[in-house]
Structure 1
């Protein structure tokens, strides 16, 4: 009887542990997808703002820097902070280092080749 109870307890504990592990893994994957989505949106917004007047999309630009501050890697947060300070001081900033860092991190998260030639920034004036 004790052996049966012990086996039953082991099965229940294994089930609970399995459920907890699956829930944890699922939650981590959901958070990872959300983070990628926010950082990809920030990358697109900053890329769009690069070499264009800031006034045309200032609100989206501010939101992108805020998202990087919340969800970015420490290097990206530092670069975003530098961009914010530069804009506050002189109304202009170089986004190349931040865009490069975001691009590399996103490619790594998406399991893409990290080292690829840099894309030129194309601007079509209308």
Structure 2
């Protein structure tokens, strides 16, 4: 992952559909330490598809609200899947994304039909 030393501007309360192709987020909490510490800034790329092993920001529709979570992609969606995903009536298999955190170590699964976006983390801001 690229480490940048340029000054970065973190997005504010921007609507999901207004996110630019590249944007910066500030990490809150210590769930991804030692890779990302509380307060560090990461660059996300809206149009870059994360692969297994990459870090990504997932945008999840939960009870009518859009939630954001940063994690490591353990098992992503196949390339032919587009988000937001809509299944077909009668489908018996639900595609899922599996993500993880490191502190404490745990994994969780996200149903593709609740996933609005999965944006790859491509850089971390260094000491500015």
Task: Decide which structure has greater strand share.
Answer: 2
Q: TM-score, normalised by structure 1?
A: 0.24
State which structure, 1 or 2, has the greater radius of gyration over its C-alpha atoms: 1
Highest RCO, 1 vs 2 (Cα 8 Å, sep ≥ 6)? 2
Task: Decide which structure has greater helix share.
Answer: 1
